[in-house]
Amino acid sequence: MVDFFIGLFLASLITALFTTRLYRLLVWYSFNSLTLGVLALLIGIKIDDNAMLITGIATIVIKAIAIPYFLKSFSQKFHFIRQIQPNIKIQYAIILIPAILVFTFYLAKPITHMIANNSNYVAISISSLFLSLLLMMEHKNVAPKITGFLSMENSLFLLGITATNGMPMLVELGIFFDLLMAIVVINLLFRREEMKNA
Amino acid sequence: MIFYITTIILLLLLAPILLSFIKSLKMLLLFKRPAPLLQGYKNFAKLMQKETIVSQETSSITTYAPFLVLSPLLVTMFFLPPIVHGAFYVSFVDAFTITGLISLSTFFLMLLGLDSASAFGGIGSSREAFISALVEPAMVLTVFSVSMMAGDLGIGQAGVNLAEHFPKEHMASFLFAGISFFILLVAENGRIPVDNPETHLELTMVHEAMILDLSGVYLAIIETAASVKFVIFASLFVSLFIPVGLEYSAPIAILIFIAKLFGVAIAVAILEVNTAKLRLFKVPNLLGISIVFAFLSLITFYVLGA
Amino acid sequence: MLELLLFPAFIIFGLSFIKSDKAKRLLAFVSFLILIPTVKLISLPKPFHLFKDYLVVDDLNAYILFVSSIVGIGVTLALMTLDKHVKVSKNAYRRFYRFFAIFWIGLIFSILSNNMGIYWIGLELATLSTVYMIKTNHSTAAYKEAWNYMIVGAIAISLILFGIILIYASAKPILGEDAMNFNLLLAHAKEIKSSFLFELGFATVSVGMFVKMGFFPMNLWLANIERASFYPVAALFSGILESAIIIGFFRFSKIAMEINYDHLFTFVFIYTILTIFIVSFLIYRAKDFMRLFSLSGIEHMALIALFWVSGGTFAALLHFGAHAFLKPALFLSTGVLESNGKYKIAGALKGYKGKKGTIFWFLVSLFLLAIISLPPSPMFFSEIYGFGAMIKVAKSGDNLLSMMAAILILLILLSVIFYKFVEVYQSMKYEGKVYEKKVYVTELFSLIIFGISLIILITSPVMNYLRGIS
């Protein structure tokens, strides 16, 4: 079952790479976070770790619901451009994405021998890290770049829960706090811009 | 053997019903009065009675191309994975053969479109060529990857293997292949994000443009071919990606199979209601996703074994 | 003790909401409070457990926090007369202080942390708050650069977290949940089984840090940001934020030294030499003060990293301290030199009349000559010690010759920088026209603070303290 969700995680990220609409992108991001949260819950139940359950629930609440909602409300408040055409042409993306995947899978091969359980997931989280970087690179607008940053956070989180069976509780909560702080700063950055235009 | 024959006849009978089912479900979802489920048969009967008019510009291709469109698909039906435990099946046919047969049918369809020498036939054929060129690699990769997971290159055998011991450890790559195949199912059968089978608007037509000049028996054959193609894809999808229900006794297994087919039809109908048709030059995006997923499934399976 | 450390930040945060003119002056003086607890920290017996095992004070981070707090005070002093040199709204002022408070909180956590996770959280908090500080300048360039910083900083920070997770994964089998603890990790470094995983994590962490410090290949983004933002922000960047990053580098590389010293040394060595190579020519082509100084900041950070991994702890720390005092001082004086929006180098030092003016240009010349490590400057000593440490490392391996060659190349590159700075200085002093220019007491005062701190740095008690840090 964990395999299934990890597949969904990567699948939603790849689909996000091809998206040309902002709201659709947010939906995919939210779905991505949702699968992440479910994964955390599943692994948490499997290894009987309460901290992981809490982070799973926090992921679902914060990343899958709150942050996409905030971003959507920002986009309405500050009139983002909602058509987000990737800079990289689709023909090249079709070649580039599998190339990245193959590269990262082989890159992660030596690591997978060193981690006892869930070794494959390390490869997938590294590749999703690269794909999120690609998501940041292929867009000129700010909003998809933010989404790319957030999904990068997601893939790091995936690495955290799969490679290490969860980081210490305090650290994970701190990361969530920082994420919310990032959202606040993003909001402020947009707000000033609007005041100047007005 | 009896199940083998029954399955094929069942699929043939179901084919028009499935398409009518999608249509009526869509109408229901759009708050219209739904068309009856047997509309496909009614259309068929009506077309058979109608006079067949062939344009004078056409060559002899028009007279036999419709049969050549249908026949590879009919052949393909014999190679599908079994739906009942212990039934006869053809085990040696692999991804390339199935894809080849389907594209053979597409090839004659395109020829048919070109043969009428009308402007519509030309655009329809060129668009179809454009789409199917992208569909084929993805299809080969997907089916290939699933058969690798099942441990046998033959599709029939793969279906059986998957049903007997489902590869739980390859769930991720299985999922990718499933996503890819579903996109192919939508694209190859001319359903909404790629093509709209219900309109005759020149900007959007693909399939309809090619058969615009046909009438009577020929049109009936082509329509049958379209529905058979859908049922082939749907049954491949359900037996490869939802391999459950084979272990029950024959009647129940058949019922489960039919239910799964209708499930696919429901999924397609919901997708059609909820999405707008893509611009033709956006279609590669969708198929690109499909190719990426197909490839991803293969490398995930090979490199990671997940 | 932790409350005492965080208290000034909270006061600044609270005061920043008051909308009166007096608050501005008050804020500057309140920020003096940040010095008191840091002085206390130095005098405490080490290691001092500030907050369980998460925040532990030792000689190294007490020193770095102390340096940072002096820089912070100097910057806030200079901030009082910011509006005399550039256009800045009152709102922006208060916002600046508000985010300075958050920045300081993040900084305390990251510098004093004994836990990779806490370190990262503090660093991220500090980074995010500086994003907004850039934005206090209401120009299009600043807006663009704020976003740029947000993106690049996010990538760099994410790389650091990625590496931290890998390191944690490598050490978890032997240490469990405590694998985040720096001290424990250092003590048990030899027992880590999957050293490849650790080294991969370390490489990722250091690449993230190098990106954030503007090393090769991301040389220009830091310079662009510091150009676009107000000069106190640039001073904060070079003086404080980089110290938070470099302490992380110190800690991580110390563990990496235990794992595989050769890999670490080769990696950092190549990276820094490449960086200095590129930066020296970029400096040669620099056309305004901000870029010049920020590029030279990159050069010095590279030198510090190089000295540290060569085992020249003392040299690295001395260099770090000198750089942390000199660079903000230079950035602040840049603000004065460029006060009317002119980027001109020629004649920048001319036209300062009166007692204040004379002291100002004298101090600026001193700082300029100190940053290129002319003898009485602490940088001179630190570089001598640093190169000594490098040769010592080479002696113990047997690649003395290649090390000599590398040092020679480094010296040539440094002399390129030296040449450029001398040229800039001459142009400032002897070329161009004379305009009447003004300098204010607070700025002068902050420059004097930096000057005095520099002198104190080369007194023997401080030197001994630094030598005591292992």
User: CA B55, CA B202: separation in Å to the nearest integer?
Assistant: 20
| Residues of chain B contacting residue A6, judged by C-beta atoms under 8 Å apart | 172, 306
Examine the pLDDT at C341 and tell me if it is beyond 60. Answer: no
Each residue of B80-133: pLDDT tens digit?
Answer: 998 888 888 888 888 889 999 999 999 999 999 898 888 888 888 998 998 888
Q: Which domain holds residue C361?
A: 2-468
Amino acid letter at C83?
D
Each residue of A125-145: pLDDT tens digit?
Answer: 888 989 998 998 888 888 888
> Which of B169, B175, B291 is closest, CB to CB, to A7?
B175
Confidence of residue C6 (pLDDT cuts 50, 70, 90): confident
Q: Which regions of chain B are under pLDDT 70? A: 306
- Interface check A111 vs B, CB under 8 A: no
Each residue of C246-266: pLDDT tens digit?
Answer: 999 999 998 998 888 888 988
> Which of B291, B292, B304 is closest, CB to CB, to A105?
B304
Give the closest-approach CA distance of A132 to chain C in angstroms. 10
Q: What is the dihedral of CA A102, A104, A109, A112, to 10 degrees?
A: -130
Of C51, C162, C184, C198, which to mutate for an interface test with A (greatest number of A Cβ within 10 Å)? C162
- Interface check A195 vs C, CB under 8 A: no
| Residues of chain B contacting residue A106, judged by C-beta atoms under 8 Å apart | 303
Angle (CA) C408-C409-C410 rounded to 5° is: 90
Neighbours of chain B (3+ CB pairs under 8 A): A
User: CA A124, CA C262: separation in Å to the nearest integer?
Assistant: 31
B303 and A11: CB-CB below 8 Å? Answer: no
Q: What is the pLDDT of residue A117?
A: 64
Q: What is the pLDDT of residue B17?
A: 93
- Interface check A145 vs C, CB under 8 A: yes
User: CA B136, CA B263: separation in Å to the nearest integer?
Assistant: 25
C169 and A153: CB-CB below 8 Å? Answer: no
Question: What is the C-alpha end-to-end distance of chain C, expressed in Å?
Answer: 25
A115 and C196: CB-CB below 8 Å? Answer: no
Of A52, A114, A165, which to mutate for an interface test with C (greatest number of C Cβ within 10 Å)? A114
Could you tell me which chain C residue has the CA closest to the CA of A168? C177
Q: What is the pLDDT of residue A119?
A: 66
| Residues of chain A contacting residue B293, judged by C-beta atoms under 8 Å apart | 11, 14
For all residues of chain A together, what is the average pLDDT? Answer: 85
What counts of helices (H) and strands (E) characterise chain A? 9, 0
B285 and A20: CB-CB below 8 Å? Answer: yes
Q: What is the pLDDT of residue B31?
A: 92
Is pLDDT larger for residue C92 or for residue C382? C382
Give the number of domains in chain C.
1
Confidence of residue A120 (pLDDT cuts 50, 70, 90): confident
DSSP A117-169: SSHHHHHHHHHHHHHHHHHHHT--SHHHHHHHHHHHHHHHHHHHHHHSS---H
Interface list for A 128-187 with B (CB within 8 A): none
Q: What is the pLDDT of residue B22?
A: 93
Q: Do chains A and C touch (3 or more CB pairs under 8 A)?
A: yes
Confidence of residue C352 (pLDDT cuts 50, 70, 90): confident
Each residue of C223-236: pLDDT tens digit?
Answer: 888 888 888 888 88
Q: What is the pLDDT of residue A198?
A: 37
Q: What is the pLDDT of residue A116?
A: 62
Each residue of A46-78: pLDDT tens digit?
Answer: 888 888 898 899 999 999 999 999 999 988 888
Of A113, A167, A172, A194, which to mutate for an interface test with C (greatest number of C Cβ within 10 Å)? A167
C74 token code pair: 């100097």
Q: What is the pLDDT of residue A172?
A: 83
Task: Tell me whether residue B90 is exposed, middle or buried, using C-beta atoms within 10 angstroms of its C-beta: 0 to 12, 13 to 18, 19 or more.
Answer: middle
Confidence of residue C342 (pLDDT cuts 50, 70, 90): low
A188 and C135: CB-CB below 8 Å? Answer: yes
Of B169, B175, B181, which to mutate for an interface test with A (greatest number of A Cβ within 10 Å)? B175
| Range name among B209-218, C78-87, C184-193 with the lowest pLDDT average | C78-87
Q: What is the dihedral of CA C145, C151, C156, C159, to 10 degrees?
A: 180
B288 and A91: CB-CB below 8 Å? Answer: yes
> Which of A90, A97, A98 is closest, CB to CB, to B284?
A90
| Residues of chain A contacting residue C128, judged by C-beta atoms under 8 Å apart | 178, 181-182, 185
Q: What is the mean pLDDT of residues C51-70?
A: 87
Examine the pLDDT at A195 and tell me if it is beyond 60. Answer: no
A7 and B173: CB-CB below 8 Å? Answer: yes
Q: What is the mean pLDDT of residues C358-364?
A: 87
A164 and C151: CB-CB below 8 Å? Answer: no
Q: Give the count of alpha carbons within 13 A of C191, CB side only.
A: 11
Query: Which residue blocks in chain B are alpha helix, DSSP H?
Result: 2-29, 39-49, 61-77, 95-115, 119-150, 155-164, 171-188, 207-210, 216-241, 250-274, 283-299
Which residues of C touch chain A, with CB atoms under 8 Å apart? 54, 115-118, 120-121, 124-125, 128-129, 131-132, 135, 138, 143, 146-147, 150-151, 154-155, 158, 161-162, 165-166, 168-170, 172-173, 177, 180, 193-194, 196-197, 200
Q: What is the pLDDT of residue B306?
A: 67
Give the closest-approach CA distance of A175 to chain C in angstroms. 6
Residues forming beta bridges with residue C181, ordered by sequence position: C115
Could you tell me which chain B residue has the CA closest to the CA of A120? B304
Report CA-CA distances (Å) from C326 to A7, C67, C372, C453: 52, 11, 10, 10
B21 token code pair: 């089912």
| Residues of chain A contacting residue B170, judged by C-beta atoms under 8 Å apart | 3
| Residues of chain C contacting residue A196, judged by C-beta atoms under 8 Å apart | 138, 143
A101 and B299: CB-CB below 8 Å? Answer: yes
A196 and C138: CB-CB below 8 Å? Answer: yes
Report CA-CA distances (Å) from C365 to A116, C351, C455: 60, 14, 15
In the block, tokens 């299934």 appear at: A4
User: CA B114, CA C15: separation in Å to the nearest integer?
Assistant: 79
Could you tell me which chain A residue has the CA closest to the CA of B300? A105
Confidence of residue A192 (pLDDT cuts 50, 70, 90): low
Examine the pLDDT at C437 and tell me if it is beyond 80. Answer: no
Structural contact between residues C376 and C454, judged by C-beta atoms closer than 8 angstroms: no
- Interface check A173 vs C, CB under 8 A: no
> Which of A114, A149, A185 is closest, CB to CB, to C194?
A114
Structural contact between residues B97 and B76, judged by C-beta atoms closer than 8 angstroms: no
- Interface check A107 vs C, CB under 8 A: no
Using only C-alpha atoms, chain C has a radius of gyration, in whole angstroms, of 21
Examine the pLDDT at C331 and tell me if it is beyond 60. Answer: yes
Long-range contacts of C36-41 (CB under 8 A, 24+ apart): C36/C4, C37/C1, C37/C4, C37/C5, C37/C7, C37/C8, C38/C5, C38/C62, C38/C65, C38/C66, C38/C69, C39/C66, C40/C1, C40/C4, C41/C1, C41/C5, C41/C65, C41/C66
Report CA-CA distances (Å) from B275 to A53, B270, B292, B301, C390: 36, 9, 21, 31, 65
- Interface check B202 vs A, CB under 8 A: no
| Residues of chain C contacting residue A189, judged by C-beta atoms under 8 Å apart | 131-132, 135, 143, 146-147, 150
Q: What is the pLDDT of residue A197?
A: 44
Q: What is the pLDDT of residue B116?
A: 82
Give the number of domains in chain A.
1
| Range name among A89-93, B27-31, C311-315 with the lowest pLDDT average | A89-93
Each residue of C122-165: pLDDT tens digit?
Answer: 999 998 888 888 888 878 888 888 888 888 888 898 899 989 98
Of A105, A106, A135, which to mutate for an interface test with B (greatest number of B Cβ within 10 Å)? A105
> Which of A4, A112, A123 is closest, CB to CB, to B171?
A4
> Which of A3, A18, A97 is closest, CB to CB, to B306?
A3
